[in-house]
């Protein structure tokens, strides 16, 4: 069936998750290795087909995280991104080779704008680079994906020539990216249709779509791509990614599942894990989910108007097209209290998918007891929040020791904060401020002896109720680097202090890595040319 999209009975769509690569390129996200591995384990539980674990050439930290994921995470294909340079491909291969199912993903732009202004090269050179890169990748790894970057703004005939080269060199997946979120569903359908005509070999490989959300069309365009023949969708949890982000994983998965009557497609994802995955990614990245976000937003299944409430009470399907339990919402059934022991905690954590043992279990138990002393019931949502909070604690970086603050409406606030330094010593800072939080932040800066600019400060409650745990996200810029940090505690001042120390740590760690490598801010992500 040369020159055609796949037969309609091949209705399984592969989910290629790029949360840890394209998603991690969002400004201010600074996941450490342990956090990336934890997200990758959750993605495996969710049942994605491919995890794009990172872009190994960009930094030693990224390399190590991809390597750890390849070693530890079983099930999905583990993919590493590489430009067409030999060094990138070698680095990607070295990072993923321990995986049972490794894939190298290499890319080069085919649009005139990128070739002229960014690559500053010729069409012939682009073809040569694509050929050499896929051939090299194929000599190392059986599974090779190729992407003509900015394809949707490129001449379709030229993109077709480059894709044909990639297929001839053995690419197993050809991905057609809408890199700047410019295309429309109709245009993308035509573009893919034309590629199928021009490149007969596309019928024998998996065609993939990778759509950005600059015009809010990432999910619609990805869906159009599937209808046009693509059988892999590249997406990210909560839709995070460069600029406006990527196609949202939970939205495309539930679109395919909910309307399978209409199109016949489905994925292998266990949708009951969607809500938890979304919470984990939001918590660890500091990127909050908007309340009205489809599928995983706080209000996605909330009914406010009387008529709707009345309808849902009589029959859920009157105003709900999906069952919230099918996406893992309202699954807050685990309840522990202050008399629950270590064993009950371990069991509950296992049910939630966390394997916590030894010292980590002792620490989690200590935190659990502190929370249980102040909060009547500790639920699954609380446990998730506590464990994620513990996961962020690093002994090799700055940490919160203790704090005290005096404040009131009739006196100037004063805070004293002890910060644990990477050397293990404690440093105490003191400061006034516009309020208790501002004073605490000032005292932390004094203790660390650094300056920074606060960009974002948000407080939310983990669950409902007056005794809910508070969760704080801080985003700040220090030493030229934007970084975020989160903190969870029953007291929002403590959560704020934890979040601020972690954000500063992330910024200072990143700055230190850049300095050691002699890299600038942009170059820290991608040494030779700007990223995708
Ligand atoms: O948006 C893009 O083009 C990319 C490629 C690397 C696939 O992220
Ligand atoms: Zn992208």
pLDDT tens digits, one per residue of 234-269: 999 999 999 999 999 999 999 999 999 999 999 999
Looking at every residue in the chain, the average pLDDT score rounds to: 91
- For 134-163, how does the pLDDT look when each residue is reduced to its tens digit (9 = 90+)? 999 999 999 999 999 999 999 999 999 999
Which pLDDT band holds residue 524 (cuts at 50, 70, 90)? very low
**pLDDT confidence of residue 523:** 42
pLDDT digits (tens, 9 = 90+) for 479-522: 888 888 889 998 999 999 999 999 999 888 866 655 554 444 43
Q: Which of 85-99, 302-316, 432-446, 497-511 has the lowest mean pLDDT?
A: 302-316
Question: Quick one: which of 481, 415, 492 has its CA closest to 447?
Answer: 415
Residue 314: phi and psi, rounded to 5, are -75, -40
Average pLDDT score over residue span 374-390: 85
CB 173 within 8 A of CB 180: no
**Per-residue pLDDT at 455:** 93
- For tokens 């919160």, the residue is 400
Tokens 């394209």 -> residue: 22
Task: Indicate the Cα dihedral angle 518, 519, 520, 522, nearest 10°.
Answer: 180
**CA atoms of 416 and 441, how far apart (whole Å):** 10
Pocket of ligand 1 (CB under 6 A): 22, 107, 147, 149, 175, 177, 179, 210, 212, 532
At residue 331, does pLDDT exceed 70? no
- Residue 173 has which token pair? 């997946």
Rounded distance, CA 62 to CA 87, Å? 15
Closest approach atom of ligand 1 to CA 81:
6
Q: Which atom of ligand 1 is nearest to the CA of 212?
A: 1
The pTM (predicted TM-score) of the whole model is: 0.87
Specify the higher pLDDT residue, 510 or 126. 126
State the maximum Cα–Cα separation within the chain, in Å, rounded to a whole number: 80
Q: How far is the CA of 515 from the centre of ligand 2 (A)?
A: 27
Going by alpha carbons, the residue nearest to atom 8 of ligand 1 is: 532
Three-state SS for 246?
strand
């Amino acid at each position: 069936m040369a020159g055609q999209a796949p037969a309609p009975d091949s209705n399984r769509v592969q989910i290629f998750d790029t949360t840890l690569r394209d998603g991690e390129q969002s400004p201010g996200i600074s996941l450490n290795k342990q956090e990336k591995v934890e997200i990758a384990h959750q993605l495996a539980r969710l049942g994605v087909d491919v995890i794009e674990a990172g872009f190994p050439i960009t930094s030693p930290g990224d390399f190590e995280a991809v390597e750890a994921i390849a070693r530890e995470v079983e099930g999905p294909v583990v993919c590493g991104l590489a430009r067409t340079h030999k060094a990138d491909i070698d680095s990607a291969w070295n990072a993923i080779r321990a995986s049972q199912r490794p894939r190298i993903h290499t890319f080069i732009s085919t649009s005139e704008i990128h070739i002229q202004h960014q690559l500053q090269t010729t069409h012939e050179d682009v073809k040569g680079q694509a050929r050499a890169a896929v051939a090299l990748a194929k000599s190392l790894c059986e599974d090779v994906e190729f992407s003509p970057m900015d394809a949707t703004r490129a001449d379709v005939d030229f993109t077709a020539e480059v894709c044909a080269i990639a297929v001839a060199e053995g690419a197993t997946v050809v991905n057609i990216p809408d890199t700047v979120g410019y295309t429309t569903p109709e245009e993308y359908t035509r573009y893919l249709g034309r590629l199928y005509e021009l490149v007969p070999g596309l019928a024998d490989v998996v065609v993939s779509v990778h759509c950005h959300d600059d015009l809010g069309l990432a999910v619609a365009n990805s869906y159009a791509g599937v209808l046009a023949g693509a059988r892999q969708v590249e997406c990210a949890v909560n839709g995070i990614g460069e600029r406006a982000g990527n196609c949202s994983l939970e939205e495309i998965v539930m679109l395919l599942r909910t309307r399978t009557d209409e199109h016949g497609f489905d994925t292998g994802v266990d949708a009951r894990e969607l809500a938890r995955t979304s919470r984990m990614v939001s918590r660890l990245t500091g990127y909050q989910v908007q309340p009205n976000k489809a599928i995983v937003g706080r209000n996605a299944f909330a009914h406010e108007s009387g008529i709707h409430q009345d309808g849902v009470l009589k029959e859920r399907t009157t105003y709900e097209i999906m069952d919230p339990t099918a996406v893992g919402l309202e699954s807050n059934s685990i309840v522990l209290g202050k008399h629950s022991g270590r064993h009950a905690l371990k069991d509950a954590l296992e049910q939630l998918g966390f394997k916590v043992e030894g010292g980590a279990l002792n620490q989690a138990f200590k935190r659990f007891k502190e929370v249980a002393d102040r909060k009547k019931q500790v639920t699954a949502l609380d446990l998730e929040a506590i464990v994620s909070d513990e996961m962020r604690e690093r002994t090799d970086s700055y940490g919160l020791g203790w704090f005290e603050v005096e404040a009131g409406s009739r006196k100037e606030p004063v805070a004293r904060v002890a910060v644990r330094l990477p050397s293990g010593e404690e440093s105490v800072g003191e400061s006034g401020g516009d309020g208790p939080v501002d004073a605490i932040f000032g005292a932390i800066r004094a203790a660390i002896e650094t300056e920074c600019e606060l960009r974002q400060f948000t407080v939310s409650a983990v669950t409902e109720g007056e005794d809910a745990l508070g969760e704080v996200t801080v985003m700040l810029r220090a030493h030229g680097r934007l970084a975020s940090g989160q903190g969870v505690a029953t007291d929002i001042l403590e959560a704020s202090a934890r979040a601020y120390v972690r954000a500063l740590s992330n910024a200072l760690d990143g700055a230190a890595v850049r300095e050691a490598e002699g890299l600038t801010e942009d170059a820290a992500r991608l040494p030779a040319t700007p990223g995708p």
